[in-house]
Structure 1
Amino acid sequence: MKRWIPTLLAALLAGCAGPDVQQYRAATPALDPAEYFGGVTDAWGIFQKRNGEVTKRFHVEITGSRQQDTLVLDERFRYDDGTTQQRVWRLVRDGGDNGEQRWRGTAADVKGEAQGTAAGNALRWQYTLLLPVDGTTYEMQFDDWMFLIDRCTMMNRASMRKFGIEFGQVTLTFRRRGCNP
């Protein structure tokens, strides 16, 4: 067996390991996605390739509303190159225990259902995004981690992978409109 194969396998397995959202259970302020995203929220973000190069900057206006038991997030993206995009999430709380909330959600450009767990000030959100690039659509696995900083501000870091290999990261700062910490 080649000497580099065990090293490669160890690196791949280490890339799959990560924190458990439960470790943030006692962190405050507590994040309730339905409460935080009620109304209008602005977000500013960047996309970085795996080498750290920033290739896109963007602003998102998110309008959150409740329709019975569903939290609807209407996201309107404006990228630095002038292009725009819309994504509408439909999120439903799906139980939880040990101080956590579980969520599931759908959007037109998400394959299947997204799964999320919130505990303390953190939310981990995982899904497969159908990402169009130059006429081809790629299925990219997203692993989002959101952390509530104060009742008005949240930070988000997402890893974007395909076949377990990270292709880039998305970083966002969210701010609720009209909110005073």
Structure 2
Amino acid sequence: MKTQTLLVAATALLTACSSPNVQQYQAQQPRLDLPGYFIGTTHAWGMFQRRGGAVVKRFHVEITGSGDASQLTLDERFRYDDGSTQRRVWRLSRAADGRWLGRADDVDGVAEGEVAGNALHWQYTLMLPVDGSTYAMRFDDWMFLIDQCTMINRASMGKFGLELGQVTLMFRKQGCIA
């Protein structure tokens, strides 16, 4: 009985860490064209939630995108509900195999993303400042284009393979009419 319980627990842990393959969304419409969506001004509204679901922080982001089909710069300006602000500038480039690679000052290493159909699966390590300390948090980030104007983003953030919280965002392209 003890072995069976241990096996069930181990299976649950491994399943919790797995992520769907972005290719399963290949046929989904509308198709996400990353530069096509983000070039110009986009607004996003979001929140951070702890693992148990409590909302810790809410925010608004104004994103200014520039570039072309192979290079994209996203200048993100965050305003949090506590009045604090933050800026992150992503520099994205399309790799030869079609994946997107990204860098930002507070990202450790290179972010890697893959688009299929209406979805982007994006993974990276963000150096997250919290109460005077900085933590390397692993992000497993999923974006889904709902229509030509709206995208929804859900990211799991964790450390040592354990989920510590989630970030949820809704993006809306400025001046867009669906």
- TM-score class, shorter: over 0.9
Give the percent of matched residue pairs that are identical in Structure 1 and Structure 2: 63
Match of 2:176 among 150, 155, 179: 179
* Residue 129 of structure 2: aligned partner: 132
Q: Does 1:121 align with 2:122?
A: no
* Residue 29 of structure 1: aligned partner: 30
| Structure 1 ranges of 4+ moved more than 4 A | 1-5
Native 8 Å contact 1:129 1:139 kept in 2: yes
Native 8 Å contact 2:46 2:58 kept in 1: yes
TM-score relative to the length of structure 2:
0.94
State how far apart, in whole Å, the 2-side matches of 1:42 and 1:68 are.
21
Q: Cα offset for 1:6?
A: 3.3
Q: Cα offset for 1:133?
A: 1.1
Moved more, 152-161 or 3-12: 3-12
Once the two structures are superposed, the pairs formed by residues 11-30 of structure 1 within 5 Å of their partners are: 11-30=12-31
Q: Does 1:72 align with 2:69?
A: no
Q: Cα offset for 1:16?
A: 1.9
State how far apart, in whole Å, the 2-side matches of 1:95 and 1:48 are.
36
Native 8 Å contact 1:41 1:174 kept in 2: yes
* Residue 107 of structure 1: aligned partner: 104
Moved more, 74-83 or 4-13: 4-13
| Unaligned residue ranges in structure 2 (runs of 5+) | none
State how far apart, in whole Å, the 2-side matches of 1:107 and 1:92 are.
12
- Structure 1 residue matching 2:96: 3-state secondary structure: coil
* Residue 54 of structure 1: aligned partner: 55
Q: Paired residues, what number? A: 177
How much is the aligned-residue C-alpha RMSD, in angstroms?
1.7
- Structure 1 residue matching 2:146: 3-state secondary structure: strand
* Residue 153 of structure 1: aligned partner: 150
CA deviations 1:45-103 (Å, max 9, x no partner) are 0111011111110000000001794200000000000000000000001133xxxx410
